[in-house]
C-alpha cells in the first residue's frame, strides 16, 4: 500500500472539496445571512407590519442579517410600533432610523400604530415603548451611510415599502466620517438591489400612494438610482389577501401580540388584507424560488403628476413583478402565512 505524503493528501482533499461544492444545489451555495435594510412607512396600513414579521422570521432562520428598520414618514407613533415589534420578536437592539423633516404621518398612524399604543385592557395600557421622542432614534441618512460603509461590496438588499424620502436623501448625501464616497457612489458600490412596492401598471391609469406621498423623492430615486430596482406594482399585492382566520388564531402566539392588535384595530374584523408590502419582501429574500415572474429590463418613469409608466429597454436596470396566476397566488399566500405564523414546537 502506497503511503501518501502530506502534499498528496492536501491535493486530494482539495479535489474532494471542489467535487462536493459542485454537487451542492445552487440554492444551497448562495450566500446566507444576506444583509437587509427595511424601509417602511409604518403605521397607516397593516401590511407593513405583516412584512416586518416576515423579515423577523427570515432573520430567525438565518436567511438574512436584518441591519435595521428605517421609517420614512414623520410619526412618533410609527417608531413606537416598530419598537414594539422588534422587542416582541426578540431583536430589542435592532437599529431604528427615521426620516428628517419628512412627510407628516401622525394622522395616518392613527389607522393602527397609535391605536396599538393606546390599546387598553381593564383600563390599563397593554403596550409601552422605549422610544419616547425622536432623540432616541437615529436619522435615516446617518444610519444608511454607517451601514453601507461597513458592508461588503454589492451585498446589501434594500426593501422599500413606503415613501422614497429617505432613499432620495441618501442619494444626495455627501462624504462623511463613514465614507469618502457620496451617496450615489456609496449605493452603487454597496447595494445589490432595491426591491420596492411602488407604481401602478394596471390598464386603468391610476396614481399609487407610495409614489405620490413624496413625489419629488420618488422621481429622483427612479431617475437616479445607480443599481437594479425590482418593482412590485399595486396590482400584484392587490391580487393576494392575507387570511383573517390566521389573525383570529392570534398568529399561533400566546398572550397579546402587537401585530394581531394592529390588524384587528385597523379595520373591523374579519377581513382579508391585500399583501402589497409582503410581495417586495418575498421576492427580495427568495428570488430563486420564482414566486413571481419578472419583466424584461426597462425604465420606470414617474411623471410630474405622479403617474407611472414602464418602458422596456435592453439597457434598463428596472424590472417589475407580474401579477401571479391563481395557483401561484395560492402558493404565495401559503408562504406568507408560514412566515408570519408562530413556529409550532
The average pLDDT across 250-257 equals: 97
What pLDDT is stored for residue 11 in this prediction?
Answer: 39
The per-residue pLDDT of the chain, averaged, comes to 91
What pLDDT is stored for residue 202 in this prediction?
Answer: 82
Residues with Cβ within 8 Å of 315's Cβ and at least 6 positions away in sequence, in order, are 297
Distance CA 175, CA 179 (A): 6
Confirm if 321 and 290 have CB atoms less than 8 A apart.
no
- Distances in Å between the alpha carbon of 13 and those of 6, 9, 17? 11, 6, 6
Please indicate, yes or no, if residue 158 is contained in any of the structural domains. yes
All cell numbers assigned to 59: 432573520
What pLDDT is stored for residue 4 in this prediction?
Answer: 39
| 3-state DSSP assignment of residue 218 | helix
The model's pLDDT over 81-132, given as tens digits with 9 standing for 90+, comes to 999 999 999 999 999 999 999 999 999 899 999 999 999 999 999 999 999 9
Instruction: Using pLDDT thresholds of 50, 70 and 90, give the confidence band for residue 220.
Output: very high
Distance CA 316, CA 318 (A): 6
| 3-state DSSP assignment of residue 135 | helix
User: What share of the chain in percent tops pLDDT 70?
Assistant: 90
CATH of the domain at 322: 3.90.245.10
Please indicate, yes or no, if residue 74 is contained in any of the structural domains. yes
Please indicate, yes or no, if residue 18 is contained in any of the structural domains. no
The average pLDDT across 316-341 equals: 96
Please indicate, yes or no, if residue 334 is contained in any of the structural domains. yes
What pLDDT is stored for residue 65 in this prediction?
Answer: 98
The model's pLDDT over 187-210, given as tens digits with 9 standing for 90+, comes to 999 999 999 999 998 866 789 999
The average pLDDT across 26-40 equals: 72
Please indicate, yes or no, if residue 249 is contained in any of the structural domains. yes
Domain total in the chain = 1
What pLDDT is stored for residue 98 in this prediction?
Answer: 98
Please choose, from the candidates 132, 129, 170, the residue with its C-alpha nearest in 3D space to the C-alpha of residue 37. 170
The average pLDDT across 1-17 equals: 38
What pLDDT is stored for residue 235 in this prediction?
Answer: 95
Backbone φ and ψ for 194, nearest 5 degrees, come out as -110, 125
Q: Which of 27-36, 134-143, 253-262, 289-298 has the lowest mean pLDDT?
A: 27-36
Print the domain residue range for 159. Answer: 29-340
Please indicate, yes or no, if residue 273 is contained in any of the structural domains. yes
Amino acid at each position: 500500500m502506497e503511503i501518501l505524503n502530506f502534499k498528496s493528501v492536501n491535493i486530494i482533499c482539495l479535489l474532494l472539496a471542489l467535487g462536493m461544492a459542485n454537487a451542492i444545489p445552487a440554492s444551497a451555495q448562495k450566500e446566507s445571512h444576506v444583509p437587509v435594510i427595511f424601509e417602511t412607512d409604518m403605521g397607516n396600513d397593516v401590511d407593513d407590519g405583516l412584512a416586518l414579521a416576515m423579515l423577523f422570521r427570515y432573520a430567525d432562520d438565518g436567511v438574512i442579517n436584518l441591519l435595521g428598520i428605517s421609517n420614512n414618514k414623520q410619526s412618533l407613533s410609527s417608531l413606537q410600533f416598530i419598537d414594539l415589534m422588534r422587542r416582541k420578536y426578540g431583536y430589542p437592539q435592532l437599529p431604528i432610523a427615521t426620516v428628517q423633516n419628512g412627510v407628516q404621518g401622525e394622522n395616518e398612524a392613527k389607522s393602527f400604530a397609535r391605536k396599538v399604543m393606546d390599546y387598553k385592557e381593564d383600563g390599563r395600557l397593554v403596550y409601552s415603548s422605549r422610544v419616547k421622542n425622536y432623540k432616541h432614534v437615529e436619522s435615516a441618512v446617518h444610519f444608511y451611510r454607517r451601514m453601507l460603509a461597513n458592508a461588503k461590496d454589492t451585498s446589501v438588499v434594500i426593501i422599500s415599502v413606503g415613501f422614497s424620502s429617505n432613499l432620495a436623501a441618501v442619494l444626495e448625501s455627501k462624504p462623511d466620517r463613514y465614507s469618502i464616497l457620496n451617496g450615489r457612489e456609496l449605493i452603487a458600490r454597496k447595494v445589490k438591489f432595491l426591491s420596492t412596492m411602488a407604481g401602478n401598471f394596471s390598464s386603468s391609469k391610476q396614481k399609487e400612494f407610495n409614489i405620490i406621498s413624496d413625489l419629488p423623492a420618488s422621481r429622483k430615486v427612479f431617475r437616479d438610482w445607480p443599481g437594479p430596482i425590482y418593482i412590485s406594482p399595486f396590482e400584484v399585492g392587490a391580487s393576494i389577501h392575507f387570511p383573517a382566520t390566521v389573525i383570529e388564531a392570534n398568529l399561533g402566539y400566546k398572550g397579546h401580540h402587537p401585530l394581531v392588535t394592529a390588524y384587528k384595530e385597523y379595520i373591523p374584523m374579519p377581513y382579508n388584507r391585500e399583501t402589497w408590502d409582503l410581495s417586495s419582501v418575498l421576492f427580495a429574500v427568495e428570488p430563486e424560488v420564482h414566486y413571481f415572474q419578472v419583466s424584461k429590463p426597462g425604465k420606470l418613469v414617474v411623471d410630474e403628476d405622479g403617474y407611472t409608466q414602464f418602458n422596456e429597454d435592453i439597457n434598463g436596470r428596472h424590472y417589475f413583478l407580474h401579477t401571479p396566476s391563481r395557483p401561484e397566488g395560492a402558493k404565495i399566500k401559503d408562504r406568507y402565512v408560514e412566515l408570519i405564523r408562530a413556529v409550532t414546537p
